[in-house]
Amino acid sequence: MPRFLSGIQPSGRLHLGNYYGAIREHVRLQDQGEAYYFIADYHALTSLRDAKALRANVFDTAVTYLACGLDPDRCVLFRQSDVPEVTELTWLLLTVAPMAMLENAVSYKDKVARGIPADAGLFTYPVLMAADILSQDGDVVPVGRDQVQHVEMTRDVAAKFNREFGADVFKVPEYRLGEAPYVPGTDGAKMSKSYGNVVEIFAEGRELEKAVMGIKTDSSPPAAPKNPDDSTIYKLFSLVAPDEREALAARFRAGGLGYGDAKKLLLARVDAAFAPIRERGKALRADPARVEAVLAKGAVTARENARRVLARARKACGLS
Ligand code: AMP
Ligand code: TRP
């Protein structure tokens, strides 16, 4: 059975891009192997320096994942900082991580190109990520396209460490892309919190209506035939209500369906699809002790794994 492992940045209120691009995939994989997921709060420190906000975001992220269907009896959900062994492992990996490899990391290069001063934490971010993956002996890392380079770096560093210390310390993992690696936002660009074009998983009522009815469209009149593949409304609808997708495509092509009405159809489907998730979210939010207990239980298992891997690594390099 493969072991899946993936990390989630605690970035607060998650959206349909996160859901269809990552969360739904993670939920499905629970039945296809051993599933490990963690909330990457050490990583979050490279962009968030506000203790209260970080704590709230970690809680929100855990609530979202549980509400969306992660089942603590079928997966291990934990908080990265509950496994401090990963930071020691990061140091061991840093000693074999080539500078040129890190200088080539897109996440780092992007920030520098935008004139944002980078600190060493951001620079070495991929090595902390490698330690996350290797410390759990992960086989497969389900991620979005933006994380592929980081998994490649993990493979390089793991293989190099094994080679240089002449021991089979680390498993060399693979990445796996999900079914919906690109979910468009309400303006047609990639749905992303930083673009302000999201439909949040927990949005309801007026807020949800505002987001969906605000989807940008061209100015074709209702009577005009429309190409569904050019429409953000249709793309989102296909994800939310795949069974009705062909029928909607036919109505787009036939003409007579205005964008306003198409949005109303989409709104109704999003509202219905996420209602059970919203309800579970409310129950979890009202019971923080339950959420904390899940994370505490996950931490025990994840720490056991990390201790075992770290012991192998220390032995291979000659540390006591
Ligand atoms: P982020 O919060 O951007 O780190 O994203 C968390 C996870 O959601 C990552 O696996 C991303 O690849 C995925 N994700 C975020 N936005 C989208 C999107 N618009 N389409 C598909 N996947 C996404
Ligand atoms: N960097 C990932 C992101 O931004 C989160 C992450 C941290 C991760 N450690 C990981 C993902 C280990 C997979 C495996 O989405």
- Residue bearing the bigger pLDDT, 236 or 114: 236
Fold that domain 193-282 belongs to in CATH: Tyrosyl-Transfer RNA Synthetase (1.10.240)
61, 39 contact by CB (below 8 A): yes
pLDDT of residue 102 exceeding 90: yes
Q: How far apart are CA 267 and CA 288, in angstroms?
A: 30
- pLDDT band at 320; cut points 50, 70, 90: confident
Q: Atom 17 of ligand 1 has which residue's CA nearest to it?
A: 17
pLDDT of residue 12 exceeding 80: no
Q: How far apart are the first and last CA of the chain?
A: 33
In the prediction, which pLDDT does 145 show? 85
Q: How far apart are CA 153 and CA 123, in angstroms?
A: 13
Q: Find the ligand nearest to 179 CA.
A: 1
The ranges assigned to domains in the chain are 3-182+288-317, 193-282
- Ligand 1 center–CA 279 separation, angstroms: 23
State residue 267 phi and psi, 5-degree precision: -55, -45
State in words which class domain 3-182+288-317 has.
alpha beta
181, 21 contact by CB (below 8 A): yes
Each residue of 107-155: pLDDT tens digit?
A: 889 888 988 888 999 999 999 999 999 999 999 999 988 899 999 999 9
The ligand 1 atom nearest the CA atom of 145: 12
Using most ligand atoms within 8 A of CB, pick from 5, 9, 122 the residue to mutate for ligand 2: 9
Q: 141: Cβ below 6 Å to ligand 2?
A: yes
**Which contacts qualify for 190-194: CB closer than 8 Å, 24 or more apart?**
190/17, 191/15, 191/16, 191/17, 192/17, 193/11, 193/12, 193/13, 193/15
